[in-house]
Amino acid sequence: MPPTLTIDHAPHGIDHPYEPLFHERRPRDPAGGDMVVLGFLSRPGGAAKDIRVEWTRNDRPQTTIHGRAFSRGTDEGRWEVELGVVEADDVVTYRIAGTDANGNEVATPEFTFVTRRWTTATSAARLPDGRFRLRGFRGEIGPALNVERGAAGLHVVITDDSFAHHSERTLRHSERSGESHSVEREILRSAQDDEGVRAQDDERMGVPDDGGVGIAEALALPRAGGACLPLRLRWQEEAGRLTALELTGELTPEESLVGFGERFDALDQRGRAFESVVYEQYKNQGNRTYLPVPFFVSSEGYGLLVEGTARVEWDLGRSVPDRWRCVVPVSNEGTVAFRSLPGTPDAIVRAMTAVTGRPDPLPLWAYGLWMSSNEWNTQARVEREVAETVRQGIPATALVIEAWSDETTFYIWNGAEYTPKPGAGRFTLADFTFPADGPWPDPAGMTARLREQGIHLVLWQIPALKDAGAPHLQHGADTTHALESGYVLRNDDGTPYRNPFFWFNNAHIPDFTNSEATQWWMEKRRYLLDELGVDGFKTDGGEHLAGRDLRASDGRSGGELINAYPNLYIRAYHEYAKAHRGGEALTFSRAGYTGAGAYPAHWAGDENSTWEAYRRSLVAGLSASLSGVIFWGWDLAGFSDALPSVELYLRCAAAAAFCPIMQYHSEYNPRGPSRDRSPWNIAAHTGDERAIDLFRHFARVRMNLLPYIAQEATFAAENGTPLMRALLLDHPDDSVAWTIQDQFRFGRSLLVAPVVEEGATHRTLYLPEGVWIDFWGGERYTGNQWIMVEAPWDRIPVFAVAGSEIPVRLGETGRLGDDTGNGVSLTDGLTYWLAADPGTEHRGDQR
């Protein structure tokens, strides 16, 4: 009788950063001193009579270990085995075997791992070419270190070119002894032998016998004011191959660390530990993010940028309160590189964006109100909502439609009739017929009418060849062509990779490292830009990659590709749209990594309609802006579940009017009630017409500010400095400014203090050094103090730097909130508001 038992063990799982599979090895890549635990599954759960691990350690058989059962259900059994603590350089080979209910023996293939070794660098010998060779405290020879110092800071590149010799040396000793010896055993042999071998290695690698320099001398991060921060460095190797580098720096008692990409939990990440990895977290992000950047700014006058796209582990004083630590895996090229940037926070961010890329300013229409809802899934519904927007006098300039396509091809309008083409082909608008009773009877006419009303169209995209589930001739032809042409990402064994996550599960993923694949993918969308006049794409997704066994056509593996992929995907769309629509085009993206800000714009992803989510979104915007993302927004008042209260909705609208992107968006609830976040839907569900009246007011204020926003956006893009500015950027010597995460500067002249507490009628806020003029009433305040101001629903606390000239466009009354339409002319009604210092101080209520 054939075996009825299967055993499943995946040593690395899918390298999930937060939710490891039960049947993984823990840790996935053991290092010396780790306790190793093996998890595995038996199926069916009740079929296994005995599960055991048979293993060897350094070629020596070890005692068989019988599994401990956690469950023996009918569908799945869960088992665990503790191998024990392993030492550095151990070679462990194991297989999992069992006996089924019929007495048949079943076993997995053999798995092998080499335990990794950490070595602390204590000195560095200078090589003739100017590089350094790292050495450990026992004389271990480490990787090469290239250090470039300049006015812009320190650039360090570590390579593993010494490890071939390291392995050679170990092999020679093993052959001489007839046994399997680790690097550590060889280093610990007699001093005379060790010195002889080291001398041979030094001679081979050109290391002069000068005694070297201390590692702190070779690696000292420059800080503002001329001081330096000494670094501690460890390298990790596996079987003579460099696998990771660890950097450790000191933290002063009051030091703050900000940046790290779009972080939702706190602006200052001191005391936290996390991984820089792109991840789709649907709401309640915590320390997870769609858009990480391995970069930080310290209040001690320096910044650090880890280059490349590898997943970086951070411990920012959580384990050791006076130390920050990061672990960087080695790239596919065998290197680890980082930059230290000294100066003020603003100078550091500018220097960082000069390296990672800066965007062009957005087209002017992008600075107005964006509207969107997943309920707007037909042309009739879109045109009805746009007509209501116009009727209500709300000046919108952009419309995002998500539910426009068949959601299988992502380039064919839902309901369109056509004759399928070969997968290599592309469509023109004339290839489609749009039935009058279909969901989109006239996309071209709709787009033209939107443009006549000053509204620009952005269409939703996902980088996936979806598992259609049902026959779809065109999608089938496209998928077949992509697979046959090598246009999708693959696994190590050559099979096409499929998305393991719940969203677009089992989809193939296009390979944007392949120029032919990219051109093929984008050409499918050409008619949308050239013939319909679409002005951009909402480039959603990009977080569908998992596992180290992924392979792209350019040779990159999963360890680097997961973080690189969103930028590759977004860049493809951004460059293609720009080529076809010029300066009118943009992309609107959720995910990204270092350099994502060069392809604007971005939004903060999915979130609930709660006060807490509102506060977290503002934190995300500030941390993103400190990480090179200049043009950012969020789904004001939330995206899903219960509708926001009128109060929350209007407080969010007021804040969004002073953010780089102002937009509302919502999910679709097919079972009702409507979750549309349009102001009239909020008013209809609450019975409070202020949802419309005050939203209109803030949308008009937004258009009043258009000349100022365009001016400051251009400055920000050209100089690589944030548009939405944490107070610490302009007031780096003010310790209070480093603690503020619910206020910000909007451009160089305005300070914004959103109301973020339910039921508040006043706002306590901090004014940094200087003289500040109330934006609404003209009162004068002196900085370096906390004040309390009135904050009715129709007003958000905003202050201008005294003496600044702010270009605005005003209507008949000459007041903010005047209707100036949704045109994007910067000269119509142009007025310069001088934030004059009247000489009479209004101190407000002291906190």
Q: Cα-atom radius of gyration of the chain, to the nearest Å?
A: 30
Give the SS3 label for residue 193: helix
From 268, 402, 540, 676, active-site residue: 540
Q: Quote the pLDDT of residue 2.
A: 58
Domains of the chain, earliest start first: 6-114 (2.60.40.10), 117-342 (2.60.40.1760), 405-439+462-599 (3.20.20.80), 722-846 (2.60.40.1180)
Q: Quote the pLDDT of residue 841.
A: 54
What is the spatial distance between Cα 57 and Cα 43, in angstroms, rounded to a whole number?
28
Q: Quote the pLDDT of residue 197.
A: 37
If you write DSSP's letter for every residue of 198-251 in order, what string do you get?
HHHHHHHHT--SS--EEHHHH-EEE-GGG-EEEEEEEEEEETTEEEEEEEEEE-
CA-nearest of 214, 581, 44, 179 to 362 is 581
Cα 833 to Cα 730, 776, 806, 808: the distances in Å are 22, 11, 5, 7
284 burial type by CB count under 10 A (0-12 exposed, 13-18 middle, 19+ buried): middle
Contacts of 337 (CB under 8 A, 6+ apart): 155, 156, 157, 158, 306, 307, 308
H-helix or E-strand containing 769? none
809 burial type by CB count under 10 A (0-12 exposed, 13-18 middle, 19+ buried): buried
Q: Quote the pLDDT of residue 838.
A: 67
Q: Quote the pLDDT of residue 203.
A: 41
- 589 phi/psi in degrees, rounded to 5: -125, 160
CB 585 within 8 A of CB 570: no
Tokens of 172: 């020679």
Structure-derived torsion over alpha carbons of residues 725, 726, 727, 728, reported in degrees to the nearest 10: -120
From 606, 647, 676, 712, active-site residue: 606
CB 358 within 8 A of CB 597: yes
CB 531 within 8 A of CB 428: yes
- Beta strands, E only, 630-725: 632-633, 662-664, 724-725
- List the beta bridge partners of residue 214: 123
Q: What is the pTM of this model?
A: 0.93
From 186, 543, 712, 774, active-site residue: 543
Structure-derived torsion over alpha carbons of residues 837, 835, 349, 631, reported in degrees to the nearest 10: 160
CB 667 within 8 A of CB 374: yes
Task: Give pLDDT < 70 ranges for the chain.
Answer: 1-3, 162-213, 838-847
379-391 helix and 443-452 helix, angle to the nearest 10 degrees = 10
What is the spatial distance between Cα 555 and Cα 522, in angstroms, rounded to a whole number?
22
What is the spatial distance between Cα 743 and Cα 757, in angstroms, rounded to a whole number?
13
What is the spatial distance between Cα 700 and Cα 38, in angstroms, rounded to a whole number?
61
Q: Quote the pLDDT of residue 842.
A: 53
H-helix or E-strand containing 749? none
- Beta strands, E only, 425-475: 456-461
User: In the annotation, is 540 catalytic?
Assistant: yes
What is the spatial distance between Cα 528 and Cα 169, in angstroms, rounded to a whole number?
61
The total of other beta-carbon atoms located within 10 Å of residue 384's CB is: 12
What is the spatial distance between Cα 782 and Cα 843, in angstroms, rounded to a whole number?
7
User: In the annotation, is 606 catalytic?
Assistant: yes
CB 581 within 8 A of CB 573: no
Cα 502 to Cα 375, 498, 543, 572, 641: the distances in Å are 22, 11, 11, 25, 19
H-helix or E-strand containing 651? helix 646-656
Q: Quote the pLDDT of residue 691.
A: 98
What is the spatial distance between Cα 649 and Cα 638, in angstroms, rounded to a whole number?
9
Q: Quote the pLDDT of residue 837.
A: 73
Tokens of 677: 């976040």
Contacts of 103 (CB under 8 A, 6+ apart): none
Residue 362 is given by DSSP the state P
Contacts of 201 (CB under 8 A, 6+ apart): 141, 165, 169, 207
CB 736 within 8 A of CB 757: no
Give the SS3 label for residue 445: helix
Give 491-497 contacts, CB < 8 A, sequence gap 24+: 491/547, 491/549, 491/550, 491/551, 492/549, 492/550, 492/551, 493/549, 497/545, 497/547, 497/550
Give the SS3 label for residue 504: coil
Compute the C-alpha angle 717/719/723, nearest 5°: 55
